[in-house]
Amino acid sequence: MNLPFLKSTLIILICFLCMVGRVFAGVSFSDNAMVTPYAFGEFVEVSDNLKNNGFWKIDQQGYMIWEHQIYFEEATSLTFLFSEFYLPENAVLTIMSMPSGEMQEYTFRNNTASKVFSTLPFQGNKAVLKYKVPIQYKDQARLQFWKIVKGNGNKSNIGLKTNSGNDCLVDAVCIAENETIDVLKERLIHSVVRIMTGNTFCTGTLINNTANDGRMLLLTANHCLEQSNIPPEFWVFGFNFFNDDEVCGDPDFETFKELQFANGAKLLANNPNSDFALFEILGDINPNWDLEWAGWSLNDVNIDFSFSLHHPLGEPTKISIENDQLVEGIEAFFGTDIVTWNISERGSGWETGTTLQGSSGAALFNQKGQIIGQLAGGEAGCNSSLDNDLGDFYSKIDRSWDFDLQIDRSLKSWLDPEGTGVKEMNSLSKETSRQGEGISIFPTPAIDTLILSPSIQGSYAVYTMNGVRIISNNNTFIKTIDISTLSSGIYILEIISKSGSKTIQKFIKN
């Protein structure tokens, strides 16, 4: 045996594996490589259904009721995946977890075009399922279990709006000590999506297109797709999963809000060579959900600071801020060198917050609040609740734009369907105003003009952040507001309708 040759071969192989581990989503043999999908449990194959498991009974009102119990002694949570899921009208499926008492109801509105379905995680190791249906519709339902995700270890908080207590993480609703970021994230926080890909979490962002049509386009990392064993039809997408601002003063404060989620997506385009994946979310979207579609930029000059909004460990939205100018780097993706945005270790990594498992795919925003990349990998993380000051890298959106001419391998055709050739796009807002008469303003940031929706009869005034009024107009029909004479910065807009209702919003002038 040629021992020197064998030794050299092993060294080369080990170095290659280390390199692949380093660059692919931050997966490394180092304990510091945290940027990967967050696995909160393990799959258990099951074949339970309405015919072969549980028992049926009839109640006094003539409804047929099916009951079934599922128990895993060491589980911290239970998530149910159905390979067949269809509920007729007037039927209700109720799942209650024990011992937490957490309960969720499902109706025909949860039916999907693919006729498959996944629940969110239920806390506890036991679940009681109850299906109630009028007797004449008893045989119409389809409930065929496929897999159950058995939550493990201390990862039992993934279904609730609670925090892990990790001191490295900064809640996105808290003041960022950067006025521009504070204004931008008020809306961008509504674009962040927590992706449950079976037994893992990633982060995605709703992204606008040149048609401004509110199409449910979601940008994330390709490695979230590659590392999932579950087709996107089973994925669950959670919106507005962020804490109340009370958490800023009391980290133990628990937020209780209705969970907003949709089931199922279709892959539109992906490319491992720039680690992007673009999906269209297919599940029903409640028009009352306060959503935002982030803008984007292909320009890469004068990026003075940047930030990322993400779901580390599947938690409510967190923020990471880079106060230094971004550094371009080169990372190898499947043998191809790709230019990336690097949160540099030379600058001690993130100045505020960090990323962890589950942050994968999160958008990197420039100072205009536009997406310039998505999180591909890195080694940022925590050591004993202390930031390790290491870096991350984001695949640049301009590299994914037309890196490959095939429509299913690049972003261009999907984000610029009208072929405008623009290099940047502002956000699209579906903001639900919490004051006044439901007035929203867009775009923000704006260049020359603000648009009101809906238009109103009334008056308006624009103030500086110091309270100095610089523009006003009384008793007029307001559809647009000319701000072309303003210098770049943050301003306050006050709108008073004819009925006397007042709306106050901040906006950014570029």
Render pLDDT for 179-224 as a digit per residue (tens, 0 to 9).
Answer: 899 999 999 999 999 999 999 999 999 999 999 999 999 999 999 9
Across 64-68, average pLDDT: 96
Position 431: which residue type? E
Position 274: which residue type? S
DSSP 8-state secondary structure symbol assigned to residue 89: T
State the pLDDT at residue 18.
37
State the pLDDT at residue 344.
76
State the pLDDT at residue 71.
96
State the pLDDT at residue 250.
75
Position 64: which residue type? M
Lowest mean pLDDT among 156-170, 205-219, 474-488: 156-170
Fold for 41-151, please state it: Jelly Rolls (2.60.120)
When the pLDDT of each residue in the chain is averaged and rounded to a whole number, the result is 85
State the pLDDT at residue 256.
55
**How far is residue 431's CA from residue 442's CA, in Å, rounded to a whole number?**
9
State the pLDDT at residue 9.
40
Q: State pTM to two decimals.
A: 0.80
State the pLDDT at residue 503.
82
Render pLDDT for 135-144 as a digit per residue (tens, 0 to 9).
Answer: 999 899 999 9
Q: Is the pLDDT of residue 13 over 60?
A: no
Q: Is the pLDDT of residue 433 over 70?
A: no
| Percentage of the chain modeled with pLDDT above 90 | 54
- CA separation, residue 377 to residues 181, 250, 340, 385, 456 (Å): 23, 32, 10, 20, 47
Q: Is the pLDDT of residue 422 over 80?
A: yes
**How far is residue 422's CA from residue 410's CA, in Å, rounded to a whole number?**
16
Lowest mean pLDDT among 333-337, 405-409, 450-454: 333-337
Phi and psi torsions of 52, nearest 5°: -100, -5
**How far is residue 419's CA from residue 302's CA, in Å, rounded to a whole number?**
26
Contact indicator for 379, 32 with CB cutoff of 8 Å:
yes
State the pLDDT at residue 8.
42
State the pLDDT at residue 26.
35
Render pLDDT for 214-233 as a digit per residue (tens, 0 to 9).
Answer: 999 999 999 999 999 899 99
Fold for 179-415, please state it: Thrombin, subunit H (2.40.10)
Across 311-321, average pLDDT: 94
State the pLDDT at residue 477.
78
Q: Where are the alpha helices (DSSP H) in 167-292?
A: 179-188, 222-226
State the pLDDT at residue 20.
37
Burial 3-12 (b: 16+ CB within 10 A, else e): eeeeeeeeee
- CA separation, residue 475 to residues 8, 436, 461, 471, 479 (Å): 82, 17, 12, 14, 13
| Percentage of the chain modeled with pLDDT above 70 | 85
Q: How many Cβ atoms sit within 10 Å of the Cβ of residue 31?
A: 10
Render pLDDT for 18-61 as a digit per residue (tens, 0 to 9).
Answer: 333 333 333 332 233 446 899 999 999 999 999 999 999 999 88
For residues 350 and 345, which has the higher predicted lDDT (pLDDT)?
350
Tokens read off for 53: 């498991």
State the pairing for strand pair 236-239/260-263: antiparallel
Render pLDDT for 246-297 as a digit per residue (tens, 0 to 9).
Answer: 788 777 776 655 678 999 999 999 999 899 999 999 998 988 888 999 999 9
Do domains 179-415 and 433-509 share one topology? The answer is no
Q: Is the pLDDT of residue 334 over 90?
A: no
Q: Is the pLDDT of residue 336 over 90?
A: no
Q: How many Cβ atoms sit within 10 Å of the Cβ of residue 340?
A: 27
Q: Is the pLDDT of residue 98 over 80?
A: yes
Burial 176-195 (b: 16+ CB within 10 A, else e): bebebbebbbbbbbbbbbbb
Across 434-446, average pLDDT: 68
**How far is residue 376's CA from residue 363's CA, in Å, rounded to a whole number?**
10
Name the pLDDT band for 505 (thresholds 50, 70, 90): confident
Best mean pLDDT range from 238-252, 412-426, 427-441: 412-426
- Tell me which H or E stretch contains 130: strand 126-134
Domain borders along the chain are 3-30, 41-151, 179-415, 433-509
Rg from Cα positions in the chain: 25
- CA separation, residue 107 to residues 85, 221, 262 (Å): 11, 32, 14
Across 156-162, average pLDDT: 52
Across 450-462, average pLDDT: 83
Contact indicator for 88, 114 with CB cutoff of 8 Å:
no
* Closest listed residue to residue 375, CA positions, set 392, 387, 388: 392
Contact indicator for 122, 79 with CB cutoff of 8 Å:
yes
Determine the Cα angle at 192 with ends 201 and 238, to 5°. 55
State the pLDDT at residue 254.
66
State the pLDDT at residue 28.
32
SS (H, E, C) 225-244: HHCCCCCHHHCEEEECCCCC
State the pLDDT at residue 177.
82
Name the pLDDT band for 431 (thresholds 50, 70, 90): low
Contact indicator for 431, 451 with CB cutoff of 8 Å:
no
Render pLDDT for 348-361 as a digit per residue (tens, 0 to 9).
Answer: 789 999 999 999 99
Domain 433-509 in CATH 2.60.40.1930? The answer is yes
* Closest listed residue to residue 373, CA positions, set 405, 399, 345, 397: 397
Across 78-96, average pLDDT: 95
Q: What is the DSSP string of 435-482?
A: STTS-EEE-SSBSSEEEEEEEEEEEEEEEETTS-EEEEEEEEEEEEEE
409 DSSP β-pair partners: none
Contact indicator for 364, 371 with CB cutoff of 8 Å:
yes
The number of angstroms, rounded, from the C-alpha of 67 to the middle of its chain's C-alpha atoms is 34
In the chain, count of helices (H) and strands (E)? Answer: 5, 36
Q: Is the pLDDT of residue 162 over 70?
A: no
State the pLDDT at residue 47.
95
Across 96-106, average pLDDT: 86
Question: Where on the phi/psi map is residue 272: left (φ > 0), alpha (ψ -120 to 50), or beta?
Answer: alpha
Q: Is the pLDDT of residue 473 over 70?
A: yes
